[in-house]
């Protein structure tokens, strides 16, 4: 074998290596490009568009199916949600955020404003009054008693007894007071003056002041008696029954719609000071909650929520339609991004394929050169 034969074999090896390497490199490039079909007249150039652009929809569908069936499976998600380490991390994160929120110095009004909820006390009072008015109009033909809870109606007797005792005590306090004595004197004097000659004659024998001193204890005893208390209870209970048996519209008309609404607003303003409540820091409402108790409750809640979520994973994943989501996302990828994604995963393998092309091409060139020497 002379030098010419060696050069022949080497040249054919180099040519074969170039052909093999370049061919494999072009084949890899043709997986991604061109992105569109190329036409010469009406004739479409073969292998256009590239394989991946041409089969992108199939690739997206296949990826979606692979993700659901082999990667993000319901069983795998359930195992992860029930994993103790995962639950501990979630628990720690939730506890940290809950404590930060509950110990915040921001007021309730500020927190609501951050959620784009604007609350004004006057507006709430007005809305509450309007709501009551609508309900009164809606149930206008019903008896008032039918709208009250049974428990409240059963407390009627107790309420009447309490009110009777209160009224009786007020009357006693008035009768025994200096103003009460003066009132009795005025009544005696007015009585005697209204009786003409008979009254004048009685006045000569009985001084109104001394008469009041004798009458006051009698009135006091009568007002403070058990009989008066029972009479007041019966009177109040009877009036309550009459009120409960009246239609709602009759009661509201008797009182007046405007009076009812204004009364409701005033009641709310006195019983629920909304401005003070809204301008109080959240930490004031939660300072009584101990950190360890809060941590225990949060841990229990997190555990239960994750367990419940794990049980609902199959249904949730079915409703989410993950396969379709992946398919839509991949189908919407720009082709350049798809190429970058595939190359990022398989760049090393594609290089090895190119190098293998050079190697095989070179070997084939050597074999061809040797064969050429003997032909």
Distance between CA atoms of residues 174 and 189, nearest Å: 19
**In this predicted structure, what is the pLDDT of residue 234?**
87
**In this predicted structure, what is the pLDDT of residue 42?**
80
User: What pLDDT, in 10s, does the model give residues 42-99?
Assistant: 888 777 777 777 777 787 788 788 888 877 888 888 888 888 899 899 988 988 888 8
**In this predicted structure, what is the pLDDT of residue 199?**
47
Distance between CA atoms of residues 355 and 276, nearest Å: 78
Angle at 88 between CA 85 and CA 93, to 5 degrees: 130
**In this predicted structure, what is the pLDDT of residue 125?**
77
**In this predicted structure, what is the pLDDT of residue 77?**
87
Closest by CA position to 63, among listed 340, 323, 319, 343: 323
Q: Going residue by residue through the chain (375 aa), what tens digit of pLDDT does each one get?
A: 567 777 878 888 898 899 988 998 888 888 778 777 788 878 887 777 777 777 777 877 887 888 888 778 888 888 888 888 998 999 889 888 888 888 888 888 888 777 777 777 777 777 877 787 787 777 778 877 777 777 776 777 788 888 888 898 998 888 888 888 888 777 777 766 655 545 455 555 556 567 677 777 888 888 888 888 889 888 888 888 887 788 878 777 777 777 877 777 777 777 777 778 888 888 888 777 777 777 888 888 989 999 999 888 888 888 888 888 888 877 777 777 777 777 787 888 888 988 898 999 889 988 888 887 776
**In this predicted structure, what is the pLDDT of residue 298?**
85
Distance between CA atoms of residues 52 and 43, nearest Å: 21
User: What pLDDT, in 10s, does the model give residues 255-275?
Assistant: 777 787 777 777 777 777 777
């Amino acid at each position: 074998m002379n030098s010419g034969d060696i050069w022949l074999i080497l040249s054919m090896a180099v040519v074969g290596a170039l052909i093999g390497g370049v061919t494999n490199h072009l084949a890899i490039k043709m997986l991604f490009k061109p992105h569109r079909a190329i036409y010469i007249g009406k004739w479409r150039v073969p292998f256009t568009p590239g394989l991946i652009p041409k089969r992108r929809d199939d690739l997206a569908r296949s990826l979606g199916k692979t993700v659901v069936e082999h990667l993000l499976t319901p069983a795998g998600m359930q195992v992860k949600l029930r994993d103790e380490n995962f639950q501990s991390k979630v628990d720690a994160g939730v506890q940290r955020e809950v404590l930060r929120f509950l110990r915040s110095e921001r007021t309730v009004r500020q927190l609501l404003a951050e959620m784009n909820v604007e609350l004004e006390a006057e507006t709430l009072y007005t809305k509450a009054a309007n709501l009551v008015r609508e309900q009164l109009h809606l149930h206008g033909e019903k008896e008032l008693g039918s709208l009250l809870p049974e428990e409240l109606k059963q407390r009627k007797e107790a309420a009447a007894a309490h009110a009777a005792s209160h009224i009786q005590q007020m009357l006693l306090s008035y009768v025994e007071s200096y103003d009460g004595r003066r009132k009795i004197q005025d009544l005696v004097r007015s009585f005697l003056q209204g009786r003409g000659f008979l009254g004048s004659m009685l006045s000569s024998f009985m001084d109104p002041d001394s008469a009041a001193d004798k009458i006051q204890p009698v009135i006091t005893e009568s007002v403070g008696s058990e009989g008066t208390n029972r009479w007041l209870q019966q009177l109040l209970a009877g009036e309550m029954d009459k009120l409960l048996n009246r239609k709602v519209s009759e009661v509201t008309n008797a009182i007046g719609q405007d009076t009812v609404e204004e009364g409701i607003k005033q009641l709310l303003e006195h019983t629920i000071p909304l401005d003070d409540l809204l301008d109080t820091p959240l930490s004031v409402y939660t300072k009584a909650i101990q950190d360890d108790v809060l941590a225990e409750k949060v841990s229990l809640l997190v555990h239960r929520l994750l367990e419940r979520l794990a049980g609902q994973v199959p249904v949730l994943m079915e409703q989410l339609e993950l396969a379709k989501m992946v398919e839509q996302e991949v189908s919407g990828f720009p082709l350049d991004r798809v190429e970058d994604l595939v190359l990022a995963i398989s760049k090393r393998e594609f290089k090895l394929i190119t190098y293998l092309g050079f190697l095989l091409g070179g070997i084939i060139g050597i074999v061809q050169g040797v064969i050429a020497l003997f032909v």
